[in-house]
């Protein structure tokens, strides 16, 4: 793992860890924005509530999800896709809060991806026992743009593998405020998160939230 340092807005030194070519963790990058991001999650999920979606194979995902921005990611028996409306009410997804977009663009830039223009933000909520198995993020049309992934609340272990499901994985603990930015050659690599353990976080209580920003079209 490579360590680099950058100065944040207050001049504090921050760590950048390289996970693979194209993929970095910006430790604590979103910590100061935590309360604004939580307020955004509450606003979005007031109109597009968290729900546990079905996989095409008929299983219920253990993480609960919502979306904001022009496009939302959904899964049901018909498959995985992006769509402009919430299937619960056929209304457009809530707008992406300004604090969300601003953070995502700054994080992408700090990681070497200037000009990030996300059109979709997936919000995952994990409660104790929830996990996400190894998967690829490959439903986006524009694979030249990175994904920006923000962790809030309880810590969780991220697994990061390779181009094939059976490739070896590294385990990366992600804490409140950490941001993973990932594109380039590792954009389609397999990844997931291990089961969330119980805990209590001052901002999020018994949950971990993850925001992933994508350019889907
Ligand atoms: C999570 N994250 O951290 C799940 N995907 O809860 C993802 O699946 C993910 O963090 C693509 C890029 C970054 C990610
Ligand atoms: Fe993913």
* Ligand with smallest separation from the Cα of 145: 1
**Residue 9: its pLDDT value, please?**
54
Which residue's CA is minimally distant from atom 7 of ligand 1?
192
Percent of the chain clearing pLDDT 90 (strictly above): 92
Name the β-bridge partners of 49.
none
Residue whose CA lies nearest to ligand 1 atom number 3: 210
Ligand 1 neighbours by CB, cut-off 6 Å: 124, 132, 137, 147, 149, 158, 180, 182, 191, 193, 210, 212
Among left, alpha and beta (phi > 0; psi -120 to 50; other), residue 129 is left
Q: Are 187 and 143 in contact (CB under 8 A)?
A: yes
Q: Which atom of ligand 1 is nearest to the CA of 210?
A: 6
Answer yes or no: are the C-beta atoms of 216 and 71 closer than 8 Å: yes
According to the model, what pLDDT value does residue 189 have?
Answer: 95
Cβ atoms of 64 and 90 closer than 8 Å: no
pLDDT of residue 13: 53
**pLDDT value at residue 80:** 96
Residues 32-60 pLDDT 10s: 999 999 999 999 999 999 999 999 999 99
189 Cα–ligand 1 center, Å: 11
CA–CA gap between residue 5 and residue 13 (Å, rounded): 6
Residue minimizing CA distance to atom 10 of ligand 1: 149
The parent domain of residue 152 ranges over 2-214
CA dihedral 138, 141, 125, 105 (to 10 degrees): 120
CATH code of residue 145: 2.60.120.590
> What is the Cα–Cα distance from 112 to 21, expressed in whole angstroms?
12
Separation between Cα atoms, residue 40 and residue 97, nearest integer Å: 6
Here the tokens at position 202 are: 């001052």
**Residues whose Cβ atom is located within 5 A of ion ligand 2:** 137
Q: Which ligand is nearest to the CA of 210?
A: 1
Protein residue closest via CA to atom 12 of ligand 1: 147
How many Å lie between the centroid of ligand 1 and the Cα of residue 122?
10
Between helix 98-110 and helix 34-47 the angle, nearest 10°, is 130
- Stretches in the chain below the pLDDT threshold 70: 1-14
Tens of pLDDT, residues 87-103: 999 999 999 999 999 99
Sign of CA dihedral 25, 26, 29, 31: positive
From 78, 73, 37, select the one nearest 55 (Cα to Cα): 78
Domain count, the chain: 1
Q: How far is the CA of 81 from the centre of ligand 2 (A)?
A: 13
In angstroms and rounded to an integer, the radius of gyration of the C-alpha atoms of the chain is 16
Q: Are 37 and 84 in contact (CB under 8 A)?
A: no
Q: For the beta carbon of residue 166, count every other beta carbon within 10 angstroms.
A: 9
Q: Which residue in 32, 31, 67, 73 sits closest to 48, CA to CA?
A: 67
């Amino acid at each position: 793992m490579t360590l680099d340092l950058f100065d944040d807005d207050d001049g504090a030194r921050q760590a950048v860890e390289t996970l693979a070519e194209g993929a970095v963790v910006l430790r604590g990058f979103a910590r100061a924005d935590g309360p604004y991001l939580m307020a955004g999650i509450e606003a979005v999920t007031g109109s597009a509530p968290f729900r546990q979606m079905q996989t095409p194979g008929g299983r219920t995902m253990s993480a609960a999800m919502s979306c904001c921005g022009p496009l939302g990611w959904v899964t049901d028996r018909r498959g995985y896709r992006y769509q402009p409306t919430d299937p619960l009410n056929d209304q457009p997804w809530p707008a992406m809060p300004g604090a969300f977009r601003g953070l995502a663009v700054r994080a992408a830039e700090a990681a070497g991806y200037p000009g990030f223009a996300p059109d979709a933000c997936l919000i995952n909520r994990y409660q104790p026992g929830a996990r996400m198995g190894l998967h690829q993020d490959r439903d986006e049309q524009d694979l030249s743009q990175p994904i920006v992934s923000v962790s809030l609340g309880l810590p969780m272990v991220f697994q990061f593998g390779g181009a094939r499901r059976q490739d070896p994985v590294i385990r990366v603990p992600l804490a409140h405020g950490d941001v993973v930015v990932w594109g380039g050659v590792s954009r389609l690599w397999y990844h997931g998160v291990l089961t969330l353990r119980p805990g209590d976080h001052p901002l999020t209580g018994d949950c971990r939230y993850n925001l992933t920003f994508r350019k889907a079209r």
